[in-house]
Chains A and B, each alone.
Chain A
């Protein structure tokens, strides 16, 4: 089975802190994604990566950056956390083909106070 793991299930940070969310997949998938999930808004794409060291902006990249130094690992970075970044963050991975489904991690619920 595909496994996507995220470094933390729950995280509490203070405004202005730099926050790292880590995601690891074990199925040699080319594509990896970061979404945030908010009630009533569904999932919104923050960034995605289709290869090592490659990244593309999604719909809401402002305030975030990403890093993909190894194929299996995709990190989301909040440079200076703000309260409006309090959310559930979901990582996903998929094969390269367009018809392939995405596999999701369990999510990290981040609270910024």
Chain B
């Protein structure tokens, strides 16, 4: 069965430090992977995606993600965290049996302290 796991409910980082939000997946075949961010009382915003090509994908707001096929991971990273990065982050993978519908992880709350 296809699935996505975000092993950490919360990640705490000091402003200026690097951040990593973890995601692992389980799919048959090549995965299409996505990261979304949700600010309080807002809908989800697309950050970046991996379809094929370079394992390091760059996205919005200085975020990047590294696709690792052997570890079935797609961790979200940023070299220097900002307080404004504090939000709820979701990893997602495309379902193969349902067009472009996505399977989402349970979300990781990122808290960046000043």
Chain A positions within 8 Å of B, measured between CB atoms, are 4, 31, 33, 35, 40-45, 48, 50, 56, 58, 90, 92, 94-107
Instruction: Give residues in B with beta carbon < 8 Å to A.
Output: 9, 32, 34, 36, 42-46, 49, 51, 90, 92, 94, 98-107
Q: Which residue of A lies closest to B46 (CB)?
A: A101
Q: How far is the CB of B31 from chain A (nearest CB, A)?
A: 11
Contact of A99 among B49, B101, B103, B106 (CB under 8 A): B49
Contacts of A99 in B (CB 8 A): 32, 49, 51, 94
Residues of A within 8 A of B9 (CB): 40
Q: A109–B95 Cα gap in the complex (Å)?
A: 26
- Min Cβ gap A48→B in Å is 5
Cα distance A48–B51 in the bound complex, in angstroms: 22
Does B44 contact A104, Cβ atoms closer than 8 Å? yes
Given A42-B106, A99-B51, also A56-B98 (CB < 8 A): yes
Given A96-B100, A98-B100: A42 and B105 within 8 A (CB)?
A: yes
Please, how many angstroms separate the alpha-carbon atoms of A35 and B36 in the complex?
14
Q: A48-B98, A97-B100, A99-B51 are in contact. Are A105 and B106 (CB under 8 A)?
A: no
For A90, the closest partner residue in chain B by CB is: B43
**Pair A42/B99 contact, Cβ less than 8 Å:** no
Chain B residue at minimum C-beta to C-beta distance from A33: B101
Which single member of A35, A44, A101 contacts B49 (CB below 8 Å)?
A101
A90 touches B106 (CB 8 A): no
Asked whether A102 lies within 8 Å of B43 as measured between CB atoms, the reply is no
The answer to whether residues A98 and B98 also contact, given A40-B106, A43-B104 and a CB cut-off of 8 A, is no
Q: Are B46 and A103 in contact (CB under 8 A)?
A: yes
Cross-chain contact A102 with B102 (CB below 8 angstroms): yes
